[in-house]
Structure 1
């Protein structure tokens, strides 16, 4: 399907992990050992919150239908800015066309959302799920992906008040509609969502065999584990990364997120919560 990365912490130049990491998200767009597809070259997106901006500020987005490894603008942009919270997504199209409006992340006011996975039987489920979106939100659906519909379903079902509950309700709706259409395992995926101050990440599939997802160990612990790793100096004590697959091969740097789990990352650190009845 796709690969994605989300960062939260002290303001960071995104190129540090988007481009320069040993197995960066751009490297994953060319070679993704843990992905359903090895190559993710059907466009990409980069979204970020400005350093020093209010928590309610709208994030900025950059989308392109070029492969991430071939886009000079991505290199220029991620080396020029600093951000305390940013998303990057590289796409392997599963059916919807390659166009900018189908590139993640998606945005609504101060919220960002991205997804790796798919709604099975999407062609048959699309009408019912799209019509369940609040009429006031429907005009904001600009592309043709199942991911964007899920985002607006979650908004319809209370994302801005309780992200974990709302994403859960949206996925349960996908499963209910899917089962009505005789789709055995309707939902597959990992999701990231943020309001600009907190990052929520989800790993869940109807079959219990979800795409891979990892988060980094806290930086003070990593400095104790690897005192000679000079690259750790680039990160503040509160820096956290959630990513489809690890950015390097150092043992203990990345922790796999368990099945049916929501990860919450904020100023207090991170915690795991059971998601959808695990």
Structure 2
């Protein structure tokens, strides 16, 4: 069961979020606190933006455990960015390889996933037939996440959505993507569940879905913290979250687990909902369609 964290806001050193918190992503790689699988050692990935250089993000992935990679720890201490996605992997679909490490880059977008399409191999061939040529040729790995993103991008184009997409268009595109997958499963008589804790960003806006086709069986946590400022305590070097007041810098976090003990800052994303965080840190919540209503 993978873990991840995403940041959007005033530029910050990546290390301050993925290394220094009490329950940092590095800590979760060997001792996750809100997961049935406590070790996530099948690789990691970091994607970040620098709009002054280019609109496409940078990407650093490795099959080493996050707790034991000196390159990650060194780079995280000098990368400063307004937006990044970081992911630690417990492999399910697809082997342990660079091609299967999250997040995945598609043009200016980054996407990462905690969850799975159970029995994915049984629908993989049919799912490919739904993809347009551009999306199909983009896929380099074997895990289900890349096929989900490829299908989302195919639907994005086929629905005629023009960038920047409206919130409702994003809701509609995620609804169609999840429904397309479940229709393929239904045609094969597959009744196993699909989980989609997903974050998608273009460096200016961030979208997260917490979705399960059988919500009563979901056990994947997902939180967000909005309108906060992030700082490092000079004494114990711990990440501190503060309420933002007028004229102060602001940020937002999305995380599989609460990174700090300040529980009042963290809000759980409701099941089968999508959160959109805009560049001004405004957060809106949208309900996603229940796929089972279509079966």
TM-score normalised by structure 1 residue count: 0.90
Tell me whether 1:242 sits opposite 2:254 in the alignment.
yes
Give the 5 Å matches for 1:32-111: 32-50=32-50, 52-53=52-53, 57-111=55-109
Tell me, in whole angstroms, the C-alpha distance in 2 between the residues paired with 1:217 and 1:198. Answer: 13
Inter-CA distance 249–230: structure 2 relative to 1 (3 Å threshold) = closer
The equivalent position to 1:192 in structure 2, one of 182, 192, 199, is: 199
Partner Cα distance (1:44, 1:271) in 2: 29
- Counterpart CA distance in 2 for 1:217 and 1:254 is 8
Selected match of 2:222 from 213, 217, 225: 213
Where structure 1 has 5 or more consecutive residues not aligned to the other structure, the ranges are 223-228
Matching of residues 71-220 of structure 1 within 5 Å: 71-158=69-156, 161=165, 162-208=169-215, 209-210=217-218, 211-219=220-228
Q: 1:230 & 1:123 partners in 2: Cα distance? A: 41
Q: Contact 1:179–1:186 at 8 Å: present in 2 too?
A: no
Question: In the aligned structure 1, how far is the partner of 2:263 from the partner of 2:58?
Answer: 34
1:271 aligns with 2:284: yes
Q: CA deviation at 1:80?
A: 0.7
Contact 2:241 2:265 in 1 (8 A): no
Kindly indicate whether the alpha-carbon contact (under 8 Å) linking 2:274 and 2:288 is maintained by their aligned counterparts in 1: yes
Q: Which moved more, 1:175-184 or 1:12-21?
A: 175-184
Instruction: State TM-score, norm by structure 2.
Output: 0.85
C-alpha separation in 1, matches of 2:277 and 2:192: 29
- Listed one character per residue, the Cα deviations across residues 161-204 of structure 1 (whole Å, up to 9, x for unaligned) are 43332222111111111111122144212000012210000000
Contact 1:43/1:63 (<8 A) preserved: yes
Against the structure 1 CA distance between its residues 69 and 266, is the aligned structure 2 distance closer, same or farther, given a 3 Å change threshold? same
Aligned residues: 269
CA contact (8 A) 2:6 2:86 kept: yes
CA root-mean-square deviation = 2.2
Q: For the residues of structure 2 that align with 1:36 and 1:113, how far apart are their CA atoms?
A: 23
Q: Residue 56 of structure 2: SS of its match in structure 1?
A: coil
Report the alpha carbon displacement of residue 219 of structure 1 after superposing the two structures with TM. 1.8
